[in-house]
Structure 1
């Protein structure tokens, strides 16, 4: 038995006899092989504090036993032994905004000439610590460049409006500012800001 395999078996508390039962099985010894695999599955599961699911355990066993082990087989044996991954995948729902304002027509959709058009939007980025940050941009689709942007830990109407105000100061009055129908862009503050800018 190679030094690498011996070390791995020792670290996992798997008896060498279990390894040999697996390697030297015959068709008439299907039950022996099955029990050896169950022992190995339980050892990998316990060593990793129950975090590994059947796919990761299968991959681990393929490495240890140096032979093909099927995902489905490992899944069945884990079910028999009532072994389930303790890792619970948390769902982190992306923040959303809603509005009761009726949908407005998309005036930009059929334009051939995008000169004088600016678009604005807020997007969502989830950080490693699971917090959200919100980049807001004003984009010139004709020149293909961002003309104004901001970053915030919240997405109030004042934030969305301030990024547009920056763009108006730097670029003058556009023909049109296009946005989605999020609550920041249907607020009276946003609408009033555009009206005041003409």
Structure 2
């Protein structure tokens, strides 16, 4: 109503909402749950559209798991479909709908996990790369590679994309879809099901890691774990800023 030009103070008086409370709500930073729901909602809408507006919440939940390896409850999918104003058609579907990847124009993500060997231990890094611009979207590091390492990197990528929009908590258009590299799967950091990157995705990842190795070679003591933990984020930050 405020966007339509109605006086904010008068609307708040009618609704019984305090003016300070309204502005605090409007400026509030979205929570991690809100960001994830915004991201999932865009995936749901994309799958629904690719099905010819026929899939219900059960089939959409199945497709989210099959395409992206994401485990989400039926209730969450049904809730987000309701918020998006979409619903499935009754009856069984005939034929098979070809999978598509939700994406913003000219962007697709690829997720990789790399183990950096040090003199006394290892350091694992999960990265999310935009394969079209070949830029680093987000990353996370820890001593062992696991699904939580990847989840943190993806959550940061999601938060980055939502925060880039002018309206907090709202994603515009279709967000980037993502695939996992063979290396992430072999390290058991990727889901058993989901999209595997193609030869181009893998080539982009290898070029990125080659640049990282060159940058690390310029730092003495980079083979020491503590030193590596300090320098690797600095290098990632530099690559992320080159946009």
Note whether the superposition's TM-score is higher than 0.5. no
Q: Rg: which structure is higher? A: 1
- TM tier relative to shorter chain: 0.3 to 0.5
Q: Whose relative contact order is higher, 1 or 2, with alpha carbons under 8 Å and at least 6 apart?
A: 2
